[in-house]
Structures are given as C-alpha cells and as structure tokens.
Amino acid sequence: MQTGAPGLHVAIVMDGNGRWAAARGLLRSEGHRAGVDAVRRVVAAAPELGVGTLTVFALSSDNWRRPGPEIAALLALFEEYLLHESRACAEHGVQIRVIGRRDRIPPSLASAIQFAERATASARTIELRIAIDYSGRDAILRAACWMLSSLEVSQKEFARRLGEVTHGGRPSADVDLLIRTGGENRLSDFLLWECAYAEMVFTSKLWPDFGAKDLEAALHDFASRERRFGGLPAAAAGD
Ligand code: IPE
Ligand code: MG
C-alpha cells in the first residue's frame, strides 16, 4: 500500500506536552500550544528528510476522558491552527487532511477542517494527516462492518475502505516509521492496521522539545534497520 505522496510515511505520537508545561509551572494548555510549535518545526523539516506523509496523533478518542477545560483548549487550538495556517501550508506545499471521527467534534472545528482541507488540496510537497478523535480499533471495526456483506476482501480493498471511514479520503497508508515522544513505549490505539510493519523509535524527549534534529536522528536510525516484512535477511535470502 502506497502513501498519498511519494516518500516515507512517518507517524508520530506526540506525547509529553503536559509534563513539559508542569516542569515550567505553566498550564497544560500552554504545553499543547508549545506542541503546535513543534508540529510546525517538524512539518517544515520533513520534506527534505524524505518524508512524504506525516500523520500526527493530535487527539485520541480516549482523550475525551480528560477534564473539560483541557479538551476545550485542545479543540480551540486545532481550530486556530487549521484556520490560520492553511494559507502558509498551501504556500509551502503542505496538504492537510484530518483523519478520525467528525460526529463528536464541535461544528466550528468541523468547518475549520473542511476549510483547511480545501485550501490545501492542491499542495503536493507533503501530506500532513492530523488525527483528531481517532481510534485505530474503531476505524478497523467500522471498515469491517462496512465490508460485512463481501465474501472475500483483499487487503488493498480493506485499506481503501479504512481510509474512507476515517475521512482520509485516500487508502490508509502503511507507516514506515512510528515515533513516540514522552517516554512511553506503546501504540495507544494509533494506526493499528497501518503500523503492521512500522519501525518504531521511542524517545523520552517531551514533544514540545522535539525538533528537526530529532526527526533527522529518528530517520537516521530508521535507515540503519533492515526491513524484512517477514522474509529473510538479504544476506541469507539467496541461499
Ligand atoms: C500529548 O501530551 C498531547 C495530547 C494527547 C493531546 P499529553 O497531554 O499526554 O502530555 P503528558 O503525557 O501529560 O505530559
Ligand atoms: Mg501523555
């Protein structure tokens, strides 16, 4: 399964905003704001590093359990980003697509998503997929229910449907490299199908501290790995 744009598909679980803020005596929402700056830095650096698709986990479906004021601050931040940065994104070739459910977010955020997707539709340098109210399990379940009437389904067809149920509008794309900041070594219901053969890089660095150099280092690590997809190492394959 190919990604929307040529190049690698890097997915990021952006974790650690709250701890970053707490360490500075700031509100958690200020940590999230600093997290948006990190997104900007990483998106700007990604194309030159060979990244064609970048999927970032902005709000998990399980994050609704957080206190109302924090959720409100996050939703407002997404809306602000989508409305105010679409033009710059379009100019820099950043195509924005939001994946996840759209039926539980405020209508104003849904409109901002539509605005950003339209404004950046013809950008081709990099595809930025922002996961909002996203759950990998939920996406798989909904695609599976949709396919229930089909007797046999290819993985390609399933991936196409998976892309549609998450509103990506494109086939879901296999992740090459998954990065998680913040020191936790888990997937947290992010891109379960798409990460089947993803290489993983976990770092204790908190997301607001993450920058171009860190992305470069993660990609350097990725480049040193031999991806076998269940096959044999290249050296042994010819035996
Ligand atoms: C990740 O940072 C951002 C979102 C989930 C939106 P956290 O808010 O989880 O930060 P920590 O883990 O509490 O530091
Ligand atoms: Mg966290």
- CATH number, residue 211: 3.40.1180.10
> How high is the pLDDT of residue 2?
41
Cα–ligand 2 centroid distance for 63 (angstroms): 9
Catalytic residue among 63, 138, 189, 221: 63
Task: Decide if 147 is inside a domain.
Answer: no
Instruction: Confirm whether 15 is a catalytic residue.
Output: yes
Task: Decide if 143 is inside a domain.
Answer: no
Q: Which atom of ligand 1 is found nearest the CA of 32? A: 3
Looking from the CA of 232 toward its CB, the CA atoms found within 13 Å total 6
Indicate the number of domains in the chain. Answer: 1
**Type of residue found at 135:** S
For residue 13, what are the contacts with CB-CB under 8 A and spacing of at least 6?
Answer: 57, 178, 179, 180, 181, 182, 187, 188, 190
The Cα–Cα gap between 139 and 132 comes to: 12
Cα–ligand 2 centroid distance for 11 (angstroms): 16
Task: Decide if 210 is inside a domain.
Answer: yes
Cβ–ligand 1 contact at 127 (below 6 Å): no
> How high is the pLDDT of residue 4?
46
pTM of the predicted structure, to 2 decimals: 0.94
Q: What is the pLDDT along the chain (239 residues), one digit of tens a residue?
A: 444 457 999 999 999 999 999 999 999 999 999 999 999 999 999 999 999 999 999 999 999 999 999 999 999 999 999 999 999 999 999 999 999 999 999 999 999 999 999 999 999 999 999 999 999 999 999 999 988 888 788 999 999 999 999 987 788 899 999 999 999 999 999 999 999 999 999 999 999 999 999 999 999 999 999 999 999 888 776 66
Task: Decide if 234 is inside a domain.
Answer: no
Neighbours of ion ligand 2 (CB under 5 A): 15
Cβ–ligand 1 contact at 182 (below 6 Å): yes
Cβ–ligand 1 contact at 29 (below 6 Å): no
Cβ–ligand 1 contact at 181 (below 6 Å): no
Cβ–ligand 1 contact at 74 (below 6 Å): yes
Name the closest-CA residue to atom 12, ligand 1. 16
Task: Decide if 162 is inside a domain.
Answer: no
> How high is the pLDDT of residue 1?
41
> How high is the pLDDT of residue 113?
98
> How high is the pLDDT of residue 153?
85
Cα–ligand 2 centroid distance for 32 (angstroms): 11
Residues of the domain holding 65: 8-135+176-221
> How high is the pLDDT of residue 5?
54
> How high is the pLDDT of residue 171?
82
Cβ–ligand 1 contact at 208 (below 6 Å): no
Q: Are 125 and 47 in contact (CB under 8 A)?
A: yes
* Residue 120 backbone zone (phi > 0: left; psi -120 to 50: alpha; other: beta): alpha
> Dmax of the chain from CA atoms?
61
Task: Decide if 153 is inside a domain.
Answer: no
Task: Decide if 53 is inside a domain.
Answer: yes
Q: Which atom of ligand 1 is found nearest the CA of 58? A: 6
The Cα–Cα gap between 194 and 177 comes to: 10
Name the closest-CA residue to atom 13, ligand 1. 18
Task: Decide if 40 is inside a domain.
Answer: yes
